[in-house]
Structure 1
Amino acid sequence: MPDREPVSLMPPPADLLDAASLFLDFDGTLVELADHPDGVVVDSRLTDLLCALGEKLEGRLALVSGRPAEDLAAMLGPDAPSVVGSHGMEFRWSDGRRERAERPVGLVESLAALRAFAEARPGVVLEDKPLGAAVHYRMNPEHEADAIALGERLAAAHGLYLQHGKMMVEVRSPGGDKGSAIRTLMADPRFAPGRPVFLGDDVTDEPGFSAVALLGGAGILVGPGRATDARYRIDDVSGVLGWLAAALGVPA
């Protein structure tokens, strides 16, 4: 997280997506946050919008999420664009290629500890991922400090990366983030011609904002203003969907 005071950001200009390579976070950006990761529903409005964006951008569209790549692609259906999951550690390219880091050995013990933690605390939800394990305490925020402390101990003991997020903490495979994911995507010949634009809402998206800025593009923060490397801001998920629809010239 940038060590700066919050700044006032303007809405993104209408022509920002012209000749862009567009990268989108999922939870909190394209869909509202849910108490449980499985509580999110993807409707036809979103899938139709993503298909139209992919056509407009000639395939230069990818989702960059903390969710497992295969799970997110399954939610989006057969026409899903390229998907990067697990905070930049899994690639599911739209042409069928698959790339994934090795699952860390230390996740076995970490998952068991986080499961015991969640089972002992009503309202705390465990999420088991291919390259990480997370506990969500949105329904019981009084457990935040204990969840973070446990995550810190597990990360230190097993050489894992401690990933903070909105009302969650995760221990995961080290070595990548959303910034490295965007750099990898932009090195691909299909994405390279575009100017990178990334939309995200969480502190997990900050490496992505930094990456697109260094590559000559722009980040768009979704939600309240904060210290960030994003250049623009949109209020909420509804605003994101409306802005993307406007870029296509279709009703929001």
Structure 2
Amino acid sequence: MQTPHDSTASPPLLTSRDALFVDFDGTLTEIVARPELVRIERDLVPLIERTQRLLGGALAVISGRPLRELDHYLTPLQLPGAGQHGAELRVHGNATPKRRIWPGVAQAASTLRERYGGDPELLVENKGAAVALHYRAAPQRAGECENAAREIAARHGLAVIVGKMVVEVRPRGLHKGVAVEALLERPLFSGRRPVFIGDDTTDEDGFALVETRGGHGIKVGEGETRARYRLSDVDAVHRWLADSADAGARARESA
């Protein structure tokens, strides 16, 4: 596994031989105060479609959100990908995602909701296979939220991961690296160089996995990371995707 470092190099453009695995919040879209307030730029869906054409369809979205939410925001697209950090897996667009259920998550969600459900500064989000406690409106309460999540997770044999202004309780061994690995075994993605792009600590497992499979990670924003390359923000991600699609179109025209 690559040692975390402060990478500053800009990533190479995508080619038709790559497979792209991309995070949603903070990568394709800006982080907002509450998950349901996310804003989709008008040119995002056409940009994803152009990138899909370059990659022969080998583009998957890997998110902590349920896939049904991603479908809603990216309509009419229904992309291959993984929701809830791999609890849901969809190999082909328009297919019904495969879902798994873990014991303990419902009890953890109930406990968090009893404790914080009426708190105007915090948001408890039960995703089904995981439960998230968002504190974007009260960053000073990060320690309190993390301690509460660890206490409840230990009680139910679950794991905790801390992201940007959120702490999530979820089953052990469930992470984005596992999701990417599962997709790389499928014909649509196998045999390609895997590229993973994301902005959060929850994406580090994805970065580590693609490195072991001959690919590379791209970190969006600041902070130490296992990723080899870096882009500054969401706008830079969009420009990189557009530049990749443009270069691919020129290559096809000259072939």
TM-score (norm 1): 0.91
SS of the aligned residue for 2:43 comes to helix
Q: Give the corresponding residue for 2:187.
A: 189
**Structure-to-structure mapping, 1:111-126, within 5 angstroms:** 111-126=109-124
SS of the aligned residue for 1:108 comes to helix
**Residues 101 and 57 of structure 1: CA distance in aligned 2, closer, same or farther (over 3 Å):** same
Decide which of 245, 249, 252 is 1:248's aligned counterpart: 245
Q: State whether structure 2 residue 66 is matched by structure 1 residue 68.
A: yes
Q: State whether structure 2 residue 138 is matched by structure 1 residue 131.
A: no
Partner deviation per Cα, 1:188-240 (whole Å, 9 max, x = no partner): 011113110010000000000000000000100000141x2211000000100
Once the two structures are TM-superposed, the CA of residue 2 in structure 1 deviates from its matched residue by 7.5
Distance 1:21 1:165 in 2: 25
Q: Give the corresponding residue for 1:166.
A: 164
Aligned residue-pair number: 246
Distance 2:111 2:82 in 1: 27
Q: State whether structure 2 residue 227 is matched by structure 1 residue 230.
A: yes
After the TM superposition, which of the residue ranges 198-207 and 51-60 deviates more from structure 2? 51-60
SS of the aligned residue for 1:26 comes to coil
Once the two structures are TM-superposed, the CA of residue 7 in structure 1 deviates from its matched residue by 2.4
Q: Give the corresponding residue for 1:28.
A: 26
**Residues 196 and 3 of structure 1: CA distance in aligned 2, closer, same or farther (over 3 Å):** closer
TM-score (norm 2): 0.90
After the TM superposition, which of the residue ranges 42-51 and 111-120 deviates more from structure 2? 111-120
Once the two structures are TM-superposed, the CA of residue 97 in structure 1 deviates from its matched residue by 4.4
Q: State whether structure 2 residue 207 is matched by structure 1 residue 209.
A: yes
Once the two structures are TM-superposed, the CA of residue 83 in structure 1 deviates from its matched residue by 2.4
Identity score, percent: 39
Once the two structures are TM-superposed, the CA of residue 117 in structure 1 deviates from its matched residue by 3.1
Q: State whether structure 2 residue 144 is matched by structure 1 residue 146.
A: yes
Structure 1: stretches of 5+ with no match in the other structure = none
CA RMSD for the aligned pairs? 1.8
Partner deviation per Cα, 1:108-151 (whole Å, 9 max, x = no partner): 22112212333353321111102011111011012111111111
The 8 Å contact of residues 22 and 198 in structure 1, kept in 2 or not, is answered as: yes
Q: Give the corresponding residue for 1:80.
A: 78
SS of the aligned residue for 1:164 comes to strand
Structure 2: stretches of 5+ with no match in the other structure = 248-255
The 8 Å contact of residues 78 and 94 in structure 2, kept in 1 or not, is answered as: no
